[in-house]
């Protein structure tokens, strides 16, 4: 019971702290509505028109508020910086500048956590362990250390107690988000609750060092044998859910132009390595490092680029990879039909919801001015803002991974500009796009896809009897009602009757003709009598002769009528 009361009081204190910060940074009308008391019978809905009004603080003040609220809200702000399809550009820029740096926790805390996780004294694991961290962020901090083998390593340690703090903050975020959606139309349109849910899905992945270590291993496999990109090695025997031990990458940050030149390396070549690396991640692997800022991109003395900190990664499936390749090729060749087809096939634009002609026209208007220009002549912010403006104008909701990809693209281009690159990014990417498209027509790949689809169809076919059995059983219990409706059969009965009548007449004609022929050719004569016609005769005549003649006559008359009716219908 004490624990529950303590958790309740702790949650209350945190709740009050959040509301104080919100009030401090300018959301004055929020508290008034939050704590307003209504008398009995008073409407719970906000006054007419007021739900759409929320005096949000300026981007700078909102960023300061998030930083003051601590690690959880800093990470939430960083997530919001990837949602340019939701927030205005000035707020996206403010969220992007959030400082993910907080005072480091003490060496003693770091030592205790490492020893508890590894079940050994610190000096048995590391020969040396720096007491001062290389860097401290809201979720973890990194110490340089040396193994007994002599290898230099980086030790990433999750901040003690951060998971419990984040869990409590997420609970309060859901509460605040639900309140905001109830009070303000704009919060409901932005999807405040869904944003918190997305944050919850991503933040706990960053807290799990096993996931980050797995991402490093995956990138190692992708770049194995590369002489341009270096991925640090993970020491799995010293890695736990809260500790990641990996090779320490020596070098300078990618934006340290003077340091790069001191190594005797041309910064423009480093920019090309970065662009080629990103193109491979995008067009070959379908898996990309989604946070390539300078601190996570290290230029090594031998000219290689080391990627570190794999807490944020993104992925795209094979189909989207191919559509992105077609998108790049369409841009490179000024083929907007190819561009539009790629966007439609990727599911980004839907003809039922988007005016494709207007979208194509707007897309061309914003794209043409950038053709053929070197990277250093393009304002990355301008491109980004125009693309997002297009997305917002046509009410296109992009998947998070594609927004993350766009953000990564912007960061990669920004690094290229810092390094004074004169590369054209479309030309750098084009060979990788062409190779990917060519692979799509590879015989082995086609057969592999056919085999996969065949296996899927086989699995569906095996399940069909069970599905039918379930449907019939539930229908027998009265759980289902089948309601058949048909359209286009209004004249079906009349047309059917006419066709049957014609078939009947045809059968009568055939029967009459056959019967008449059989009768007239028969040797048996019934009721024969003498018949005189126009004074000529007498001639022998039998009843069977009359029946045969009558059959031929009926068949002839009906045949002529049937032919005429078919000609009149125009459907010979």
pLDDT value at 429 more than 90: no
552 lies in the same domain as 530: yes
Domain contains 40: no
173 lies in the same domain as 116: no
pLDDT value for 494: 67
Domain contains 219: yes
Q: What is the 3-state secondary structure (H, E, C) of 372-406?
A: CCCHHHCCHHHHHHHHHHHHHHCCCCCCHHHHHHH
Residues 547-552, mean pLDDT to the nearest whole number? 74
CATH number at residue 129: 3.30.200.20
CB neighbours (10 Å) of residue 77?
A: 23
Residues 454-483, mean pLDDT to the nearest whole number? 67
371 lies in the same domain as 431: yes
pLDDT value for 359: 83
391 lies in the same domain as 375: yes
The residue whose two tokens read 């209350």 is: 12
502 lies in the same domain as 466: no
95 lies in the same domain as 81: yes
Residue 357 confidence class, pLDDT cut points 50, 70, 90: confident
Task: Find the distance separating the first CA and the last CA of the chain, reported in whole Å.
Answer: 92
57 lies in the same domain as 72: yes
Alpha helices in 421-542 (DSSP H): 425-440, 443-476, 492-520
pLDDT value at 236 more than 50: yes
Tell whether omega for the bond before 538 is within 30 degrees of 0, i.e. cis.
yes
326 lies in the same domain as 412: yes
257 lies in the same domain as 288: yes
pLDDT value at 300 more than 70: yes
Whole-structure pTM value: 0.62
**Overall domain count for the chain:** 5
- Determine whether 291 is an active site residue: yes
Domain contains 180: yes
266 lies in the same domain as 172: no
Angle between helices 59-69 and 71-80 (to 10 degrees): 140
Three-class SS state of 156 = strand
Q: What is the pLDDT of residues 476-522, one digit of tens each?
A: 776 666 565 656 555 666 667 677 777 777 777 777 777 777 666 66
Residue 115 confidence class, pLDDT cut points 50, 70, 90: very high
Rank 17-21, 382-386, 420-424 by mean pLDDT and report only the highest: 17-21
Domain contains 485: no
Domain that holds residue 561: 496-569
Q: Which of 248, 278, 304 is the last residue of a domain?
A: 248
DSSP 8-class letter at 294: G
Domain contains 328: yes
Residue 185: its H or E element:
helix 185-190
pLDDT value for 317: 77
pLDDT value for 111: 95
**Measured between alpha carbons, how far is 401 from 40 in angstroms, rounded to an integer?**
48
404 lies in the same domain as 507: no
pLDDT value at 270 more than 50: yes
Active-site pick, 169, 291, 309, 545: 291
511 lies in the same domain as 536: yes
Residue 154: its H or E element:
strand 152-158
Three-class SS state of 122 = helix
Q: Which of 218, 248, 278 is the last residue of a domain?
A: 248
Alpha helices in 241-290 (DSSP H): 257-262, 267-280
Compute CA 57 distance to the chain's CA centroid, rounded to the nearest angstrom.
Answer: 32
**Measured between alpha carbons, how far is 382 from 369 in angstroms, rounded to an integer?**
11
**Measured between alpha carbons, how far is 460 from 99 in angstroms, rounded to an integer?**
51
Could you list the beta-strand ranges (E) of 232-318: 243-247, 252-253, 287-289, 297-299, 305-307, 313-315
Residues 127-151, mean pLDDT to the nearest whole number? 92
């Amino acid at each position: 019971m004490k624990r529950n009361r303590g958790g309740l009081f702790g949650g209350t204190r945190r709740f009050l702290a959040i509301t104080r910060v919100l009030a401090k940074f300018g959301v004055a009308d929020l508290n008034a509505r939050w704590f307003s008391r209504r008398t009995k019978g008073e409407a719970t809905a906000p006054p007419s028109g007021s739900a759409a009004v929320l005096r949000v603080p300026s981007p700078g003040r909102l960023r300061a508020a998030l930083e003051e609220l601590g690690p959880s809200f800093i990470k939430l702000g960083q997530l919001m910086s990837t949602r340019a399809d939701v927030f205005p550009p000035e707020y996206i820029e403010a969220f992007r500048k959030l400082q993910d740096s907080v005072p480091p926790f003490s060496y003693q805390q770091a030592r205790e956590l490492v020893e508890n996780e590894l079940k050994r004294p610190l000096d048995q694991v590391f020969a040396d362990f720096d007491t001062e961290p290389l860097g401290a962020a809201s979720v973890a901090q990194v110490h340089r250390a040396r193994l007994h083998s002599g290898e230099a390593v980086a030790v990433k340690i999750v901040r003690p107690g951060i998971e419990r703090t984040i869990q409590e903050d997420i609970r309060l975020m859901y509460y605040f988000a639900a309140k905001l959606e109830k009070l303000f139309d704009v919060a409901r349109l932005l999807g405040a609750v869904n944003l918190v849910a997305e944050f919850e899905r991503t933040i706990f992945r960053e807290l799990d060092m096993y996931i980050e270590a797995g991402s490093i291993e995956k990138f190692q496999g992708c770049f194995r044998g590369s002489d341009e990109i270096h991925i640090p090695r993970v020491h799995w025997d010293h890695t736990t859910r809260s500790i990641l031990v990996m090779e320490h990458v020596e070098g300078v940050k990618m934006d340290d132009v003077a340091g790069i030149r001191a190594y005797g390396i041309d910064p423009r070549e480093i920019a090309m390595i970065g662009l080629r690396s990103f193109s491979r991640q995008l067009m070959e692997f379908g898996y990309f490092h989604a946070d390539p800022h300078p601190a996570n991109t290290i230029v090594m003395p031998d000219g290689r680029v080391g990627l570190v900190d794999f807490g944020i990664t993104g992925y795209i499936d094979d189909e989207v990879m191919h559509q992105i390749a077609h998108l790049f090729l369409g841009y490179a060749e000024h083929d907007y039909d190819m561009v539009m087809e790629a966007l439609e096939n990727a599911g980004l634009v839907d003809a039922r919801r988007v005016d494709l002609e207007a979208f194509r026209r707007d897309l061309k208007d914003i794209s043409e001015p950038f053709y053929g220009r070197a990277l250093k002549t393009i304002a990355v912010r301008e491109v980004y803002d125009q693309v997002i403006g297009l997305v917002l104008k046509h009410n296109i909701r992009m998947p998070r991974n594609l927004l993350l990809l766009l953000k990564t693209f912007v960061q990669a281009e920004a690094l290229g500009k810092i390094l004074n690159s004169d590369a054209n990014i479309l030309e750098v990417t084009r060979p990788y796009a062409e190779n990917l498209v060519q692979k799509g027509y590879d015989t082995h790949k086609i057969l592999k896809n056919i085999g996969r689809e065949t296996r899927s169809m086989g699995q569906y076919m095996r399940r069909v009897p069970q599905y039918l059995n379930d449907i019939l059983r539930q229908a027998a219990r009265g759980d289902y009602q089948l309601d058949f409706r048909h359209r286009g059969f209004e004249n079906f009965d009349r047309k059917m009757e006419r066709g049957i009548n014609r078939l009947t007449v045809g059968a009568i004609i055939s029967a009459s003709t056959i019967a008449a022929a059989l009768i007239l050719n028969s040797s048996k004569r019934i009721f024969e009598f003498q018949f005189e016609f126009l004074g000529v005769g007498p001639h022998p005549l039998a009843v069977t002769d009359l029946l045969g003649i009558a059959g031929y006559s009926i068949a002839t008359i009906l045949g002529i009528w049937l032919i005429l009716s078919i000609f009149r219908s125009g459907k010979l």
